[in-house]
Amino acid sequence: MEEGAPMKWWRFSRFVTLQVALGLILSALLPAAAPAQEEVTSAIRRYKEREASTGYYEEHEVKPRRDRPFVGVPGVMRKLFPYSPKAAQVRSRTHLADSHRGIQFYAMRRCDECHVEEGKHGHTVRGNITCRQCHGGEPIASINHYFSPLNPIRRHSYVCSKCHEGASVSFATFMVHEPKAGDPETRKTFPLLYYANWFMLLLLVGVFAFFIPHSVIWVVREFIHKPEEKPHAEGKPQDEPRE
Amino acid sequence: MSRESRIRRFSVVDRIFHLFVMVTFMLQATTGVGRLLYTTQWGKGMVGLFGGYESATAIHSWVGIIMLIGFLVHIGYVLSKVDWKKFPHSLFNEDSLIPNLTDLKQMGQKIRWFFGLGPHPKVDRWGYWEKFDYWAVFWGMPLFAVTGLMLMYPVGASSWVPGWTLNVALLLHRAEAILAIGYLFIVHFLVGHFRRETFPMNEAIFAGSVVLEKEKEEKPAWIERLELEGKLAERAAPPPAPWFRVVYFIFGYSVVILGLYLLLILFVYRGQIEWH
C-alpha cells in the first residue's frame, strides 16, 4: 500500500461503531424528561394536583370572619409579644392544634400576662377556677380546631358539664369572656349586650338627672316656704295657720 | 296629740305590703351589693356576714323568689280590689295610682313653684312622685324576676332561650339593681324623711293614718274631695300607740341608715362595680 492512501473502510467503520455504541449507552443514563416521570397521568390527576383548592385561603379571598385571624410579620410586635418567622407562617390562628405556636418567649409565662381582660371574669374571680381547668393542658388548641374541647360543637359536654350538670349547646353559647358592653366593637360582636347597656345607662341617667335635682330642690324650697303659699283645702273654716 | 284629728291613708294590707317590700328589698340589696363588690375587702366582709359566698347567693336567690311570690300576691290583691262592674271608672279616678294628664300638669306646676314662679299644685290622693315610685318598683319587679330566674337556673333557662342571653340578663339585673338602690335610697328617702314636712319620718306608711290639718297642706285636693263626698268621718282613725311609734321609728331609721350606708359603699367602690 502507498502512504497517504485513505483509511481502509473496515477500519473506519469500527471507529464509528464504537462511537455510536458509547453514545447509546451514555444516553441511557441521562435523566428522563418530565412527562415521562409519571407512571399514570390524566387530566383529572393534573387538575387535582395543580388546580384544585388546598383548603387554605388567603385573607383577601374570604369574607371577614368573627374570629378574624391575625397574621403577623416577622420582626413586628403584636401587643405584648413579638412574632417569630415561624409564627408568621401561620395564616390563621383559630384553627391550630397549638394556638400559641411560634410565639416567642411563651414558656414560663402566665396566662393573664397576655390575656389580661380574660382573667377578670366571674368564673375566675368568683368561681375560683383556673384557665387550664377549661382550656386544658399544653398545647392549648385553638378554639376552632376540630379536636379542641372548647370547639363550640362539644364545649357543653367536655367543659361546661364538668360543673354545670346537664349543660346544652345553647348553654355553652354563654360568653364566659364577655366583651366590655360599652366597647364600640361589641356593637358588631354582641349587639344585644351593647344596646342593653346603652338602654340601662340612659334609663339610669334619665331617672337620676330628673329626680335627684327634683328632690333636692324640693327639700330646699320647702325650707323657705311661707304657709300662705301652699293652698289650703277649702270648705271647713280654717284654724290658725300652722307654721 | 288628742286634739289632732287623723284620717286613714293606708290600709293595713297596704302597710303590710310596704313592710314586705322593705324587708325583702333590704335583704336583696345587702346580699346583692356584697356579691357585686365581692372583689373588695368590704364585699368579702359583707358576704361573710351572710355565711360566705354560696350562702349569700342562696339567700339572695330565695328571698328573690319570696319577693316574686309577694309581687304576684300583690297583683292578685289589686285585681281583686278593682270594682270590675264600674270599669273603667273604677281604675281611672283620682284615687287610682294610674298616671294621667293631671299629674303631668302638676309636675309642671311644681317645677314652677320650685323657682317661685307659681303656687304649689293642689295634689289629690297621690302625688305624681308617689305614682312614679309605685310604678318604678312595679316595672322593676318583672325585670328582676325574669333575669333573676334565668340566672338562678341557667341550664334550664338555656333550653328556652339561647345561652348568650344570660350575659344580657346579668347586665340587666345588676343595672336595674343599681337603679333601684340609687332611686330608693336617694329620692325616696329624701322625699320621705328629709323634707321639712316629713322630717324626721313620714309616719303615714307605718301608722296608716295622717294628721288631718297637715294633710290639708300636703294633699289638699284629696281632703276637699273627701269633704265634698262626706267621707271624712268614715276615714277617722285613732293615733298610733306610742310604743308602736317607737318601734317603727327605730325600724324605719335602721333601714334608712342601712340604705345610706350601702349608698356610701357603692360610691366609695364605684370603680369596682362591674355590671357586666
Strands A77-78 and A81-82: antiparallel
pLDDT value of residue A76: 52
| Predicted-complex ipTM score | 0.91
Name which of A43-52, A148-157, A209-218, B74-83 the model is least confident about: A43-52
Q: Does B155 contact A165 at a Cβ distance shorter than 8 Å?
A: yes
Angle, alpha carbons A89-A92-A96 (nearest 5°): 90
Q: How far apart are CA A122 and CA B144, in angstroms?
A: 20
Cβ neighbours of A218 in B, within 8 Å: 110, 114, 190-191, 195
Label residue B181 by pLDDT band (50, 70, 90): very high
> At residue A157, does pLDDT exceed 60?
yes
Q: How far is CA A196 from CA A153, A182, B61, in A?
A: 28, 10, 23
Note every long-range contact of A95-98, with CB atoms under 8 Å and residues 24 or more positions apart, other chains counting: A95/A142, A95/A144, A95/A145, A95/A146, A96/A141, A96/A142, A96/A145, A97/A139, A97/A141, A97/A142, A97/A145, A97/A147, A98/A138, A98/A139, A98/A140, A98/A141
C-alpha cell at A47: 387538575
Best mutation target among B130, B217, B224, B275 (most A Cβ atoms within 10 Å) is: B217
Q: Does B167 contact A193 at a Cβ distance shorter than 8 Å?
A: yes
Domain B6-272 has CATH 3.40.1360.10: no
Identify the closest residue of chain B to A234 by CA–CA distance: B224
Q: How far apart are CA A94 and CA A146, in angstroms?
A: 10
Predicted confidence (pLDDT) per residue in B130-151, tens digit: 999 999 999 999 999 999 999 9
Q: Output the DSSP codes for A13-48.
A: HHHHHHHHHHHHHHHHTSPPPGGGT-SS--HHHHHH
Of the candidates A62, A91, A66, which has an alpha carbon nearest to the alpha carbon of residue A175? A66
Q: How far apart are CA A181 and CA A191, in angstroms?
A: 9
Q: Domain-by-domain residue ranges, chain B?
A: 6-272
Predicted confidence (pLDDT) per residue in A86-112, tens digit: 555 566 677 777 888 777 778 788 888
Q: Does B122 contact A222 at a Cβ distance shorter than 8 Å?
A: no
Q: Does A219 contact B190 at a Cβ distance shorter than 8 Å?
A: yes
More reliable by pLDDT, A237 or A206: A206
Query: Mean per-residue pLDDT for B74-89?
Result: 88
Distance from CA of A39 to the nearest CA of B (A): 56
